[in-house]
Structure 1
Amino acid sequence: MAKVLIIGGGIVGLSSAYYLQKAGHEVTVIDKSDMKDNCSYGNAGMIVPSHFIPLATPGMVAQGIRWMFNSKSPFYVRPSLNPQLVSWGLQFLKKANNAHVEHSATPLTELSLLSKKLYEDLSKEPGFDFDLVEKGILMFYKTEKALEEEAHMAEKGRELGLDMAVLSVAECKALQPDLELDVLGAVHYRCDAHLSPNKLMAALLAYLKNAGVKLITNKEVTKIETAGGKVSCVLSHNEEFTADEYVIATGSWSPAVGKLLGLNIVLMPGKGYSFNVKDEKQTIQIPALLAEARVAITPMNGGLRYGGTMELDKINNRINMNRVKGIVESVPKYFPDLKPAVPAEKEIWFGFRPSSADGLPYIGRSRKYNNVTVATGHGMMGLSLGAATGLLTSEIISGKPTSISIDAFAPERK
């Protein structure tokens, strides 16, 4: 069995640690934070096999350009000559075609379904109560254009074996009678689920600590030494950490960590915002996605978590209140009785989704170093795909056949 050092303590890093420890490896996780408030905590908590279409799609280029001129839009790219953004943008343009969408659907679906099954299994383990609910997700739409697009998507989903149904307004109303609707209908992604990310992360940390996994917090990796096609040690300032195997699970910080190894990990941080509101009436019991607004609403911990926006920029601590207002203002357009107030800045959570240019995660061995595994680039689906990525990372390091093909996720793919 190997001594494994995982760089990164988000959902992917901790899931990798979980399955590696279960496989008998000696595991250490190192992170520059305290592992208690990364991107894995503030997301919408959705498990989404329905999301088999990558970010890089033919229509996204034109739509993204239109959205750039609206300060409240759900997607924004800050214009910059940042080499990281230029490289990302060129690859995005290269992949934004129908062939890529078709090629990506099956591997993304397989990865998502594996992850959902693993979360179902994990929820039955002692100490892993993270409120997994399997009621699906409702994708609501207001326009004929969105209806047509979502109905087409549902048809594609069914071809992939996913349980999806196009619902009328009356059918939507029957599912949640207390929710007033101003929509044309919805697609019910019955294949989806949701959970509490805060409870999941806490459960993973508690398990790993009790299982003897070393959790090293507030240590930023500053240097990585290599020799003979292998990583020999990782340094945090003057402190040295050695292992047999190394995992890069550093989310939006992966390009910087990869650079220490001479690896070009092409991804951009996509800032997203969320905030929580009490919902004593339990108006929403099935998570909602607002198609045109690109907003997510999830019942969670006795309230509702509202989330949205994708803001591609350098990592920063700015809160763009216009983007948050865009989330708030979109909600009553779909649900007239639901009118969340604009939250105070201190109540707004933000995090950075590690978004690859082609919309697929990076999972696999590095070709340059035979003891490095890359597990990053999951975009908005980090939580959803975390469990599967963790298992696959464990299988790679254990030298076992992987549960699904990972060819499409090769870290150095073209």
Structure 2
Amino acid sequence: MKKDVVIIGGGIVGLNCAYFLQKSGREVTVIDENDITDSTSFGNAGLLSSYDKTPLSYPGVVTNTLKLMLKGQSPAIFHPTISPKIYKWLLNFILNANEKRTKKTMMLFEKFGELSLQFYEQMIKEHNLDFDYHRNGMLSVFTEDKSYNQKLKTYNYVDEDRFKILDFDELQEYVPTITQKAKGAILFKKNAHFDSRKVMNELKKHLEQEGVEFILNERVEQLDIRNDKVKYVITSNGNQYRPNHTVMSTGYQTLLANQCKKDLMMTPAKGYSITFEMPSELVPKTSTLFNDLFIVMTPRKDSVRLTSKLEIGSDDSKVVQKQIDSIKNNFFAYNKSFDMKNETTWAGFRPLTPNDIPLIGRDENIKNLTYAMGLGWLGMTFAPAVGSIISDLVSNDKKNAQSDGVLLFSGFYQ
């Protein structure tokens, strides 16, 4: 079966690639092994942290993580493994935890994050999509004196459009459940949040209306490569699709990339979310990051979601109750107790690169293959920017060297 552009993977990055490619005039087919109603994108916090959010790999991250481990509050969990690739990833992660890399990454976050925010706002306006989108900032709450004081040194100037340092009374207005154990808080005004489930459902519905084809519950098992091109995309159902171009957006899964002899510097990191209802008077005003605990609390139209944890080296996709209990214990150590009603838990894998920079761009040897991977916990934040970059590459038949987006924002060139 002949196809124009085949996108393998229907997460938020795959859907945004489909969105921009369809707008450019290409006929698009999205293939996913599931029905894309419970992917990693659906479990996302919905926090769009383009501004003033440090990457996972930052100066002091190893020391800070070890201290939190001793207190039983560390979000990071490492499962010992015999896989040398994970240790190579960890080494690269540590090497990236320096001041120069952090500053560069945060500049890129701001550039491509703002572009994504504008794209989201344009989608909402142009297509009347309901994302439950709010650009009313991200509140960063600190539970450690050291990290709070370091942040205050960075933000020792006045910029009322960008941020505000809150006193405790102001913090309580934003987070009514907070206790005086919190050390301080800063509201970063340029960030946003939305309901990730609404975004996925609304975007898929819009794409179907625009003629994008979805082939679901069909796993791509193999890429048949001949004469430096993807000749066929072969699925578990025995179907063979013959694409003009293939976009690989398979999240943390690297089987197909390995077939293409592409060793991606990326590892799966398991994360969790808890979605629940709580008394309306206790709901936070905006998305709240408990900075030292790596817990995000996001208000939604009818619920609230907590997301946390980074498990490295695990291949167990199930929800582990011990980790859910750990998130709750860490959260309630700094918040007043309340009942989480109609609680739903979720677990999934995020594709993490060692410097939070995605792996995007054309394959150097396979002429009709492009990668859109490695966005980790920031898939929602950067998906539209990545989708526009990929569409520009494919639709205009550009080389990586001709794309400023690829040269600036691809881990292949960082």
Superposition pairs of residues 117-196 of structure 1, within 5 angstroms: 117-154=118-155, 163-175=162-174, 178-182=176-180, 183-196=182-195
Kindly tell me: are residues 157 and 353 of structure 1, through their superposed partners in 2, closer, same or farther at Cα, counting changes over 3 Å?
farther
Distance (Å, rounded) in 1 between the aligned partners of 2:14 and 2:390: 10
In structure 2, C-alpha distance between the alignment counterparts of 1:64 and 1:193, rounded to whole Å: 27
Q: Report how far residue 264 of structure 1 moved.
A: 0.7
CA distance in structure 2 between the partners assigned to 1:157 and 1:107 by the alignment:
23
- Please give the alpha-carbon distance, in whole angstroms, between the structure 1 residues aligned to 2:271 and 2:288: 17
2-side partners of 1:308 and 1:317: how far apart? Answer: 15
Aligned amino acid, residue 371 of structure 2: V
Aligned to 2:13: 12
Cα contact 1:104–1:408 (8 A) shared by 2: no
Partner of 1:24: 25
Task: Give the deviation of 1:113 after TM superposition.
Answer: 0.8
Among all aligned residue pairs of Structure 1 and Structure 2, give the percentage whose two residues are the same amino acid: 27
Separation (CA, whole Å) in 1 of partners of 2:250 and 2:161: 31
What letter corresponds to residue 350 of structure 1 in structure 2?
Answer: A
Instruction: Summarize deviations over 1:20-79 as a string: whole Å, max 9, x none.
Output: 101100101111111111001111111111255322223123334455667652111111
Report the AA paired with residue 135 of structure 1.
Answer: N
Partner of 2:390: 393
TM-score with structure 1 setting the length: 0.90
Partner of 1:363: 360
Distance in 2 of aligned mates of 1:229 and 1:153? 49
Written as runs of structure 1 = structure 2, the 5 A alignment for 1:287-366 is 287-336=287-336, 338-340=337-339, 347-366=344-363
Q: Could you tell me which residue of structure 2 aligns to residue 233 of structure 1?
A: 232
Look up the match of 1:407. Answer: 407
**1:32-181 alignment, distance < 5 Å:** 32-50=33-51, 52-66=53-67, 73-154=74-155, 163-175=162-174, 178-181=176-179
Superposed CA offset, 1:188-241 (max 9, x none): 011111111111111111111111111011111111122232222211143111
What stretches of structure 2 of length at least 5 have no aligned partner?
none
RMSD: 2.6
Q: Larger deviation: 76-85 or 185-194?
A: 76-85
1: CA distance, partners of 2:28 / 2:157: 41
Change (3 A) 1:180 1:54: closer
**Equivalent in the alignment of 2:271:** 272
Q: Distance in 2 between matches of 1:155 and 1:232?
A: 57
- Separation in structure 1 between the aligned mates of residue 347 and residue 158 of structure 2, nearest angstrom: 31
Relative to structure 1, the CA distance from residue 86 to residue 115 in structure 2 (aligned partners, 3 Å threshold; closer, same or farther) is: same
Q: Deviation per CA, 1:311-358, whole angstroms, max 9, x where unpaired?
A: 11243223332321222122233332x4355997xx311111110122
Does the residue aligned with 1:242 lie in a helix, a strand or coil? Answer: strand
**Distance (whole Å) between structure 2 residues aligned to residue 214 and residue 348 of structure 1:** 31
How many corresponding residue pairs? 406
> Counterpart of 1:223 in structure 2: which amino acid?
Q
Q: Is the 8 A contact 1:366 1:411 kept in 2?
A: no
Is the CA contact 1:72–1:322 (under 8 Å) kept in the aligned structure 2? no
**Structure 1 residues 137 and 404: alpha-carbon distance in aligned structure 2, compared to 1, 3 A threshold:** farther
Structure-2 separation of matches of 1:292 and 1:228: 51
Shift of 1:169: 1.5
Give, in angstroms, the shift of residue 84 of structure 1. Answer: 2.8
Change in CA separation of 1:339 and 1:73 when aligned onto 2, cut-off 3 Å: farther
Q: Describe the shift of the 1:188–1:249 C-alpha distance in structure 2 as closer, same or farther (beyond 3 A).
A: same
Displacement of 1:310 in angstroms is: 0.8
Secondary structure, aligned partner of 1:335: coil
Q: Do residues 376 (structure 1) and 373 (structure 2) align?
A: yes
CA shift, 1:187, in A, is 0.9
Secondary structure of the equivalent of 1:244? strand
TM-score, normalised by the number of residues in structure 2: 0.90
Alpha-carbon distance between aligned partners in 2 of 1:410 and 1:329, rounded to the nearest angstrom: 37
Change (3 A) 1:174 1:279: closer
Q: Look up the SS of the partner of 1:58 in the other structure.
A: coil
Q: Secondary structure at the match of 1:115?
A: helix
Amino acid paired to 1:391: S
State the 1:174 CA deviation.
4.7
Letter in 2 for 1:246: T
Q: Determine if contact 2:140/2:188 at 8 Å carries over to the other structure.
A: yes
The Cα offsets for residues 78-125 of structure 1, whole Å up to 9 and x where unpaired, read as 111113312312322332222221232222221111111111111213
- AA of the residue aligned to 1:261: C
Name the SS for the 2:80 alignment partner. Answer: coil
Q: Contact (CA 8 Å) 2:73, 2:293: kept in 1 or not? A: no
Kept in 2: contact 1:50–1:162 (CA 8 A): no
Deviates more, 1:118-127 or 1:65-74: 65-74
Q: Residues 376-395 of structure 1, C-alpha deviation per residue, up to 9 Å, x if partnerless?
A: 11111111111211111111
